[in-house]
C-alpha cells in the first residue's frame, strides 16, 4: 500500500481514532491529571511513565499536534512550545554551554538574531554571524568549539537559500548539531530532516496555524535528540496551552491547500513586481534570476509564499508604498491567509543595529510580503497602485 500523501497525513495523522471517537481532536483544557499510585506519579514526574502528569510536561491535545507535525516533517518526535522563539530558545539553550560556539546567518528572524548576538554572550557562548549563507562561509566560520550550526532557509527577510544538505553534512563531520528554521518554507515545501539536519524548528504562528489567531512553536527531530531537550523545556516552561494546540491542529488540515495557493500567488506577484519600473529588485527563490534558485529547485517542492522587494527611493519610498496598499495589510508576522506587508527598516528589524542590517543586506527600501490566498489579480492591482502612488 502506498504511503498517504501530504494532505491525507495533515488531516488524519497516522489514522488512529481520537478520544471517544471524536472526529476533531478534543481540547483537554486541564492543568493536571490523575494517577493511580505514587509509583506511577513518580515515573511521570521523571518523564518516564506512560500517560500525563501536568500540562507543562505534556497534554493529550498538545501531544496530538506534536505527533502530526513530526509526521509531516519526517521526524520521530516533537515538542510544542508557546511561540516560535520558545522553540528556538529551547533548542539553543538546551544544546550549548559556556565556552561553546554557534554559527548562524546574520540575516535571520530578528528575535533569533538578538538571541545569538545579545543573549548568548551573557552565558559565555560565542556566535559567528554570517554575511552570506553559502556553504563555504559556514565552513570558514567553524571552530573547534562550534556545537551548533543554525540554518534559516529561505531566510528572513531576504529569502536567501542555503544548501541545507551540504551544511548539514559539514556540521555532522565537525561533530556539531545542525538546526534549521523551516518556518518560511513549511513542511509542505521542504523537509530539512530528510536533507540531513538534526533538528527543525517552526514558528507555528505562521503557516502551520495559518489564520493569524494563535502563537505557537515546534521542535522536531529524532526521539533521542528531542528527549534531550525536554529538561530545558520543562524548566524554562515555554508551554503551549491546549486550546492553542487545537487551533494549530485545525490549521494543519488546510496547510497543503493554503500553501499550494500561496506558492502560486507569490510566483505570479513576484513576476509582476519584477517588471515594475519602481522596483529595483525582487527577492524570490522561484525566479530564475534569484542566486539560490537552483538550490531551491533541488531541495524544495514549492518556492513558498514569501517575497521581498526593494523599491527605488529608500526608506521614505518604502514607507509610502506599504502605507498606500489597500488589500494587503500592513502588519507584522506572516503565513496567514491575508497578504501581510512590513517595512523591515522601520518595523521588524529596528532592533537590529543599522550597521548589522546593512551587512546583512536589509536595505532601507526593502518591503517584505507574506502573500495570502486572495485573488492574485487583486494583489497585483493593489501593489501596482501603491507603487504608482508612491
Residue 43 has, within 13 A of its CA and on its CB side, a CA count of 11
Q: Are 369 and 306 in contact (CB under 8 A)?
A: yes
As a whole number of angstroms, the distance between CA 181 and CA 335 comes to 14
Q: Are 104 and 98 in contact (CB under 8 A)?
A: no
Query: CA 247: distance to chain centroid?
Result: 17
User: What's the angle, vertex CA 311, arms to CA 305 and CA 312, rounded to 5?
Assistant: 165
Q: Are 146 and 118 in contact (CB under 8 A)?
A: no
* Rounded-to-10 torsion of CA 322, 326, 330, 334: -110
Residues 6+ apart with CB under 8 A from 367: 308, 309, 310, 311, 318, 321, 322, 341, 342, 343, 344
As a whole number of angstroms, the distance between CA 144 and CA 150 comes to 16
| Residue 265 burial class via C-beta count within 10 angstroms: exposed 0-12, middle 13-18, buried 19 and up | buried
- Which residues does residue 236 pair with via DSSP β-bridges, in sequence order? none
Strand 366-370, strand 306-311: pairing = antiparallel
CA of 253: how far to CAs of 192, 193, 230, in Å? 21, 21, 27
As a whole number of angstroms, the distance between CA 15 and CA 284 comes to 36
Residues marked active site are found at 56, 109, 181, 206
Residue 383 has, within 13 A of its CA and on its CB side, a CA count of 32
* Residues constituting the chain: 390
Amino acid at each position: 500500500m502506498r504511503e498517504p500523501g501530504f494532505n491525507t497525513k495533515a488531516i488524519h495523522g497516522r489514522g488512529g481514532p481520537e478520544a471517544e471517537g471524536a472526529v476533531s481532536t478534543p481540547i483537554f483544557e486541564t492543568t493536571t491529571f490523575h494517577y493511580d499510585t505514587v509509583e506511577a506519579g513518580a515515573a511521570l514526574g521523571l518523564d518516564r511513565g506512560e500517560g500525563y502528569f501536568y500540562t507543562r510536561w505534556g497534554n493529550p491535545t498538545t501531544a496530538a499536534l506534536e505527533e502530526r507535525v513530526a509526521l509531516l516533517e519526517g521526524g520521530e518526535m516533537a515538542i510544542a512550545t508557546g511561540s516560535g522563539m520558545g522553540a528556538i530558545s529551547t533548542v539553543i539553550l538546551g544544546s550549548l554551554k559556556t565556552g561553546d560556539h554557534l554559527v548562524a546567518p546574520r540575516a535571520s528572524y530578528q528575535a533569533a538574531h538578538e538571541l545569538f548576538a545579545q543573549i548568548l554572550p551573557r552565558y559565555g557562548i560565542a556566535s559567528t554571524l554570517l554575511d552570506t549563507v553559502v556553504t563555504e562561509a559556514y565552513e570558514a566560520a567553524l571552530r573547534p568549539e562550534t556545537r551548533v550550526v543554525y540554518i534559516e532557509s529561505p531566510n528572513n527577510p531576504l529569502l536567501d537559500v542555503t544548501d541545507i544538505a551540504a551544511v548539514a553534512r559539514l556540521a555532522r563531520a565537525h561533530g556539531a548539531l545542525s538546526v534549521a528554521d523551516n518556518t518560511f518554507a513549511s513542511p509542505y515545501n521542504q523537509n530539512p530532516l530528510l536533507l540531513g539536519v538534526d533538528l527543525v524548528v517552526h514558528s507555528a504562528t505562521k503557516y502551520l496555524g495559518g489564520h493569524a489567531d494563535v502563537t505557537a512553536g515546534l521542535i522536531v527531530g529524532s526521539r533521542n535528540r528531542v528527549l534531550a531537550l525536554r529538561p530545558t523545556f520543562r524548566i524554562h516552561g515555554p508551554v503551549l496551552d491546549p486550546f492553542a494546540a487545537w487551533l494549530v491542529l485545525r490549521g494543519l488540515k488546510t496547510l497543503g491547500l493554503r500553501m499550494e495557493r500561496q506558492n502560486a500567488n507569490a510566483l505570479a506577484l513576484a513576476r509582476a513586481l519584477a517588471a515594475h519600473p519602481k522596483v529595483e529588485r525582487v527577492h524570490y527563490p522561484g525566479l530564475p534570476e534569484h542566486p539560490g534558485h537552483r538550490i531551491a529547485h533541488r531541495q524544495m517542492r514549492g518556492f513558498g509564499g514569501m517575497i521581498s522587494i526593494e523599491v527605488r527611493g529608500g526608506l521614505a519610498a518604502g514607507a509610502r508604498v506599504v502605507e498606500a496598499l489597500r488589500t494587503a495589510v500592513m502588519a507584522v508576522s506572516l503565513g496567514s491567509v491575508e497578504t501581510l506587508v512590513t517595512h523591515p527598516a522601520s518595523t521588524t528589524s529596528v532592533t537590529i543595529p543599522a550597521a548589522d542590517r546593512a551587512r546583512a543586506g536589509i536595505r532601507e527600501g526593502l518591503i517584505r510580503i507574506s502573500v495570502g490566498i486572495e485573488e492574485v489579480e487583486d494583489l497585483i492591482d493593489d501593489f501596482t497602485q501603491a507603487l504608482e502612488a508612491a
